[in-house]
Every structure is written in C-alpha cells, then in structure tokens.
Amino acid sequence: MDPVPRHIAFERLYNFRDAGGYCTGDGRSVRCGQLYRSDSLAKLSARDWEHFRGLGVRTVIDLRHRREVDMRGRIPDSDGIRYHNISIEHRPYDQAVLSPLIEPARFLADRYAELAEDGMAEIRQALELLAADGSAPVVIHCAAGKDRTGVLTALVLGLLGVADDDIVADYARTGLVTDRLIAEWRAHHGGKTPRWPGFGQAPAGAMRLFLAGLATEYGGVRGYAAAQLGAGDSLVGALRNQLLSG
C-alpha cells in the first residue's frame, strides 16, 4: 500500500494530488510537496484559494487550450505564483460523445501517443519550467487532471527514474474520482449522461500501453525525451536536482 497520502481535499477540486514520494531506480525519491497534479484550478473557491496558497505553490502549468481558459477561467494573478498556459494537445476531441463500442485503454493510449508526438515543443517547454531553479512547488493541471496532466506527469516521473508500475498506479488514481468527474460533466450538460462509457475512466492499461509504445519506439521515456525533445543529460539532471531527495 502506498504510504503517501495522494489526494488533497478541496471544496471544488476533486483530483488535486501530490506526485511525490515515489522511489527511483537509484535509491532516491520524488520530494513530497513539490510536484502536484490537478483538475482545473479555475474552480478554486475562496476557501480553496487560501488552502492552495498555504501549499506555497510557485509555478502553475495549465495544459488546457486557450479557448478552455477563456471559457472556464484560470487562477487569478497573484504575487509569488508564475502562471504558464502551455497547451500540449493539437488534435482535440470530445470523449463524452465517442461511440460506446470504443475500448478505453487502447483508445486513450493512442491519444497519449499523439500528445507525445504533436506536443513536443510544449512538453519541452514544460520540462524546462519544472527544471528551473526556484520553480517548485509546481502544479500541473488540465481540465480533469487525467489525460494531458497524466501524460506530462508520466513523462516527468519517468525522467526522474520512477518505475513504470508506480507511474501507472499514479495515473490510475484518477479512477477514484471518476464518479465526481462524470457528475461535474453532467452538471454542465443539463443532466445528460456521456455517450462513451469510458468517459472519466483512467484504466491502468492505457498508461501501460503508452509507456510500452515509448519503450518499443525509443527504448523508454528517457530515449523519447532525448530523441524527440532534445532533453539530454543537462536538462534531466536539472529536473532531478529540483524534484528528487536523497
């Protein structure tokens, strides 16, 4: 059982959690309280905002499309918090209206592979922000904190040296709040139910297939980062210095 408490309670956020505490292959660990992943911070209530500020967050990386930001809002400008809107998704789609016949794990894994292919420049930019001195604590978020956030978090954890099993487990934890994700969608859509049964799910198989694809194509996350992002030893080393303890 994972000894680190992951989900952090907020009034309006349901998928805010700490990505720290995972061990790396060289005996170190990801520092707790330094790397968070979340659903949209635009939903923060006044009480949530006070709780959020108490975490000492310095950097927010918002992976949503600009139109999502314009429609749903973003965190307010605040002293001490640097906000960056970096959309890594270039082929947007609506999961709620997909065919009920589509199998979730394979479909999502293919979309994640597209993110890794299409969003190389933006992913590199996000890694540079994460590796910068004084950037942490950092929050990575999108709308639900599942797909775009899941891919970037998986890549970061992989570069830090976290084992695939732990990366998969971290991703799949969104499944604990799938019901709330669906309820939120229904509240914004007149009480309707998403057409695709896979909506809101985070099946472990999706992340396993995505990581397996990177392993086949590039030898793993580190190989992908070097070949496609130009993220060599210097950037990876800086990332590890910022986020690892031990």
Which residue type sits at 83?
Answer: Y
Q: What is the pTM of this model?
A: 0.96
pLDDT digits (tens, 9 = 90+) for 84-96: 999 999 999 999 9
| 32 carries an active-site annotation | no
pLDDT digits (tens, 9 = 90+) for 181-198: 999 999 999 999 999 999
In sequence order, the 6+-apart residues with CB closer than 8 A to the CB of 64 are 40, 72, 85, 87, 141, 142, 143, 148
Sign of CA dihedral 31, 32, 37, 41: negative
pLDDT digits (tens, 9 = 90+) for 123-172: 999 999 999 999 999 999 999 999 999 999 999 999 999 999 999 999 99
Residue of 135, 42, 131, 152 whose CA lies nearest to 87 = 152
HEC sequence for 135-182: CCCEEEECCCCCCHHHHHHHHHHHHHCECHHHHHHHHHHHHHHHHHHH
Q: In this structure, are residues 35 and 141 in contact, taking their beta carbons and an 8 Å threshold?
A: no
Q: In this structure, are residues 114 and 127 in contact, taking their beta carbons and an 8 Å threshold?
A: no
Q: In this structure, are residues 19 and 122 in contact, taking their beta carbons and an 8 Å threshold?
A: no
Say which of 41, 108, 142, 160 is annotated catalytic.
142
